[in-house]
Amino acid sequence: MENTGNKLNHCMLRVKDPEVSLTFYTEVLGARLLERFDFENMNFSLYFLGFDAGLEGPMPEDRGERIMWLASQSGVLELTHNYGTESDADFSGYHDGNSTPQGFGHICVSVPDVYAACERFEELGIEFVKRPDDGSMKGLAFIKDPDGYWVEIFSPAGLKKIIVGQ
């Protein structure tokens, strides 16, 4: 079998409360809800999000065609909600991968201007892991989503400056 035509379609994060997470990813980061799948007999729902700048072609109206379109995209984010976690006071959340034992690290969203984006995050009360001028890597930031997952924020021009120095 050849490897041509393969692409990374999506990354999945488990979320405690889909409404809170959807608000974060759509209203704070600018993603768009592309599709929702409910598996009520198995007690979970899937929410697929994408950023317009990264999507190929228009999203079809027909659901079957939209599912095939969704499965052919790159860089989609899947949020998985297991029913009941949103109202379980004893639910402690999911491992973010950045505490021991380390594993998964973060997802990343590129923005036109890191500093402007971070000013907005600050105004919205978003929790920072790293602000753009903290540490030795200037011009990129890390914020936390509602479940504690890290989201790296950088601009293409800023990343070039970090790596190449120009």
Give catalytic residue positions.
152
Residue 64 DSSP SS3: helix
User: Which residues are CB-contacts of 16 (< 8 A; sequence separation ≥ 6)?
Assistant: 81, 85, 86, 91, 93, 94, 146, 147
Strands 32-39 and 44-50: antiparallel
Closest CA to 94 of 129, 145, 143: 145
Residue 106 DSSP SS3: strand
Q: How far apart are CA 162 and CA 136, in angstroms?
A: 10
